[in-house]
Amino acid sequence: MTSPRQQFSVSEQSPRGSMQLNTHSPYELKDLYQNIDLIDRKIAHSQTWETFASQDALDAHVRKLTTKRANLIKSALVLTNLGVECDPQYVPRSLSQTARPVADTASGEDAAVS
């Protein structure tokens, strides 16, 4: 008679050296991007509209949101490094700003030359 533990032993059944499947989907990356954008908006809102008892309370709140944002960005970078692709329209504005000034500068130079 075999015990339930012996019947469902995974280590004996799976071959060694098998490849792991990439179970990450573009929808995960899209959700991360949307959460990053939401936290960006929360930071902007708290700095402009919310009232706090002191400047230290505001700084603590912004620091907490910034830490959450940093963790989300790390997760998004891990997914992109694993090869997960997502539609560029979902990239948060704060992350896509590095590419915008180059395009704006180029179009500004064309307008100045014309």
User: Each residue of 21-38: pLDDT tens digit?
Assistant: 667 889 999 999 999 999
Type of residue numbered 68: K
The CA distance from 43 to 46, in Å, is: 5
Residue 40 lies in a domain: yes
In the structure, what pLDDT confidence band is assigned to residue 105 with cuts at 50, 70 and 90? very low
Residue 101 lies in a domain: no
Query: Residue 96 phi/psi, 5° resolution?
Result: -95, 0
Beta carbons within 10 angstroms of residue 94's beta carbon: 16
The share of the chain scoring above pLDDT 90, in percent, equals 60
How confident is the model at residue 99, as a pLDDT?
Answer: 46
Residue 41 lies in a domain: yes
Residue 72 lies in a domain: yes
Domain span at residue 62? Answer: 24-88
**Structural domain count of the chain:** 1
Structure tokens at 21: 């499947």
The share of the chain scoring above pLDDT 70, in percent, equals 65
Question: DSSP letter string over 57-87?
Answer: HHHHHHHHHHHHHHHHHHHHHHHHHTT----
Residue 95 lies in a domain: no
